[in-house]
A and B are shown apart, each in its own frame.
Chain A
């Protein structure tokens, strides 16, 4: 699915950054993936194994930091973070359902470690 394409662009960036810094080997790749990004972490892991094969990132650790959904409550003028796994974003203060999602859609290459 689309995780393969996303991982391909991640690996392209990883290799470019690593090459610019004369890296020998990429040791760790850290991604930040929002729980509302529509991207599946397991599919990303699988895709990473596939696309990193034969590159300087083969065998590197892939860390996927999950970014929880955060919404803004207009009434309370406050952000809150989803606690339940069902993604129903109800303000813990006033119980109103909130559709203004402020975080949780991230699909980011966060950090690299290399030697």
Chain B
């Protein structure tokens, strides 16, 4: 390439950019139409002295656009069926499956629930969750460290959602990658267990900032572990001021009524 070729890199402060080849003002986010671009390309791809001009193309394309479109489709589908979908995210072992087991045995007796459960390799969680009154689909992601909207759409179609009011989606155990992938859920639930330390919310800003509800789990262990609940809650409030917080234990049952009444608030009366 030649050295002194023009680009539009420095023009952004104007609020628009001067296209280096056409001289046209281009709004950030806009791109030249293909035919115009091709014309320019023919005219400028090689100058008479053999130098090749650098062309610049503004795109502004969201890279997760496909996922986002599928997620919106899921959201519309869920809403249309009158069900609320919850995306449960946490580190491995924070207690997602245990809480769901308990919830299916209590809450789901009154309100019809279904579960989609993601896991890297095994179908253990799916087996733990299977109940005669609960449709469950296992999503084995292989090496993929998060669920995406396409996986959720396929899994949701594989089960009978008739009469279902609450759809739980247990994400792959991971506090990083799931933050970027909208599944089309109405509620994003982040679980933090008392075994993980009080400062975890400060270490994973994206996922906590996207949470509607934070569950502080295994609260029965807090005292034995010297877990400082007030500090953990303060950290959650700092990182996720938008989120509701519920402390609970699937083991002792503490806080479960609050969790169930949250769920009841989501489930439209049938």
Question: A residues touching B (Cβ–Cβ < 8 Å)?
Answer: 1-2, 5-6, 9-10, 13, 17, 20-25, 27, 31-32, 36-39, 86-89, 97-101, 105-115
- B127 proximal to A (CB < 8 A): no
Partner of B180, one of A39, A86, A99: A39
B 134-158 to A, binary, CB cutoff 8 A, 1 in contact else 0 = 0000000000111000000000000
- B269 proximal to A (CB < 8 A): no
A9 touches B237 (CB 8 A): no
Known pairs A13-B61, A21-B41, A109-B63; list 12 more (Cβ under 8 Å).
A1-B177, A2-B177, A9-B64, A17-B57, A21-B57, A22-B45, A36-B205, A86-B202, A107-B62, A108-B59, A109-B61, A115-B52
Q: Once A and B bind, how many residue pairs between them come within 8 Å at the CB atom? A: 112
Contacts of B224 in A (CB 8 A): none
Smallest beta-carbon distance B149→chain A, Å: 13
Q: CA of A20 to CA of B37 in the docked complex: distance in angstroms? A: 9
Contacts of B41 in A (CB 8 A): 21-22
Q: CA of A88 to CA of B202 in the docked complex: distance in angstroms? A: 8
Report the interface size for chain B: residues with CB under 8 A from the other chain.
41
What are 26 inter-chain pairs, A to B, with CB distance below 8 A? A2-B146, A2-B181, A6-B63, A6-B180, A13-B61, A21-B57, A22-B38, A24-B52, A37-B180, A38-B176, A86-B202, A87-B209, A89-B241, A99-B242, A99-B243, A101-B209, A107-B62, A108-B60, A111-B57, A111-B58, A112-B56, A112-B59, A114-B54, A114-B55, A114-B57, A115-B54
B 173-212 to A, binary, CB cutoff 8 A, 1 in contact else 0 = 0001101110000000000000000000010011101000
Most A C-beta atoms less than 10 A away, residue of B7, B53, B59, B242:
B59
B243 touches A21 (CB 8 A): no
Once A9-B63, A86-B202, A87-B209 are accepted as A-B contacts, the answer to whether A112 and B57 lie under 8 Å apart by CB is yes
B34 touches A87 (CB 8 A): no
Contacts of A25 in B (CB 8 A): 1
Chain B's closest residue to A101 (CB) is B209
- B131 proximal to A (CB < 8 A): no
Most A C-beta atoms less than 10 A away, residue of B63, B144, B205:
B63
Smallest beta-carbon distance B242→chain A, Å: 3
Contacts of B206 in A (CB 8 A): 36-38, 105
Interface residues of B in 200-237 (CB under 8 A from A): 202, 205-207, 209, 237
Once A97-B237, A115-B55 are accepted as A-B contacts, the answer to whether A1 and B176 lie under 8 Å apart by CB is yes
A113 touches B56 (CB 8 A): yes
- B133 proximal to A (CB < 8 A): no
Contacts of A111 in B (CB 8 A): 56-59
Contacts of B164 in A (CB 8 A): none
